[in-house]
């Protein structure tokens, strides 16, 4: 199977390996310098380590990818690998891979992941790997960035749990991120450039993740509303 991303499979695997190694080093640095106390089932430094990637890294790489495309943003979203320079699109896939892999380094510093997190990560790794071999990767870049931006709002909501403003920002941002992600999934399903099986699996994953994430976000919102009501 030949990647559509302009690389041979050994190159793809080598770059994914390098991204994994860099991600582990990043986790070790965060473990050394950021707070280690337990926070909602994971060390606080692990939550904090996500924020720069979610709020700056992903949006920046997407912006650079759009800027390097010879056309508008709408055309870029539906463009095949052959119509792209591909440098920043590949960089995004590697960044997402490493962003997920950094959690594996928790095992080296006394932490780990539960079965649900492992399932989430394996599905996401498979999705990233798939887009090295199929077209329309920009749809994943947009949808993935939206969901991670929403995830950042949830982290900030948990950190600033007594802020009514952050509660409102969290609900709005998470909901908007799922609307964008599901919209991208519907668009992906409508385009024949990618294999039907890939489109169906991707759509199922996006809708499933969005549903579970939105359900959890609303649970946090109800808990926050109860706290605010008792405080009033």
97 found inside a domain: yes
Per-residue pLDDT tens for 104-123? Answer: 999 998 888 888 889 999 99
- What pLDDT is recorded for position 1? 61
| Residue 4 in domain | no
- How confident is the model over 178-224, as pLDDT tens digits? 999 999 999 999 998 888 998 999 999 999 999 999 999 999 999 99
The answer to whether the CB of 100 falls within 8 A of the CB of 121 is yes
Q: What is the mean pLDDT of residues 149-168?
A: 97
On whether residue 172 sits in a domain, the answer given is yes
- 13-41 pLDDT, tens digit per residue, is 999 999 999 999 999 999 999 999 999 98
Number of folded domains that form the chain:
1
**Cα Dmax for the chain:** 61
Question: Is residue 213 domain-resident?
Answer: yes
Q: Would you state the structure tokens that stand for residue 119, as one six-digit string?
A: 């399932």
pLDDT at 59 over 80: yes
Which residues span the domain enclosing 226?
9-231
**pLDDT, tens digit, for every residue of 123-152?**
999 999 999 999 999 999 999 999 999 999
- Domain assignment present for 222: yes
Q: Quick check: is 193 in a domain? A: yes
The mean predicted confidence, pLDDT, of the chain is 95
Residue 3 domain flag: no
Task: Write down the pLDDT at residue 112.
Answer: 84
pLDDT at 44 over 70: yes
pLDDT score for 152: 98
Q: Does residue 2 lie within any of the structural domains?
A: no
């Amino acid at each position: 199977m030949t990647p559509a991303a302009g690389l041979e499979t050994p190159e793809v695997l080598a770059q994914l390996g390098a991204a994994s190694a860099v991600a582990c080093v990043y986790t070790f640095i965060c473990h050394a310098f950021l707070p280690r106390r337990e926070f909602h089932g994971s060390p606080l430094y692990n939550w904090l380590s996500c924020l720069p990637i979610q709020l700056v890294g992903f949006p920046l790489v997407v912006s650079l990818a759009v800027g390097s495309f010879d056309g508008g943003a709408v055309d870029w979203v539906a463009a095949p690998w052959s119509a792209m320079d591909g440098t920043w699109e590949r960089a995004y896939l590697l960044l997402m891979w490493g962003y997920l892999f950094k959690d594996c380094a928790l095992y080296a510093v006394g932490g780990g992941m539960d079965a649900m997190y492992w399932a989430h990560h394996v599905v996401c790794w498979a999705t990233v790997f798939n887009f090295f071999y199929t077209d329309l990767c920009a749809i994943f870049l947009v949808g993935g960035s939206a969901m991670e931006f929403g995830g950042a709002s949830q982290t900030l909501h948990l950190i600033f749990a007594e802020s009514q403003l952050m509660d409102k920002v969290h609900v709005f941002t998470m909901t908007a991120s799922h609307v964008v992600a599901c919209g991208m999934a519907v668009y992906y399903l409508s385009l024949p450039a990618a294999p039907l099986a890939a489109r169906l699996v991707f759509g199922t994953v996006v809708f499933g993740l969005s549903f579970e994430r939105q359900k959890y976000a609303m649970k946090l919102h109800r808990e926050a509303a109860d706290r605010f009501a008792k405080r009033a």
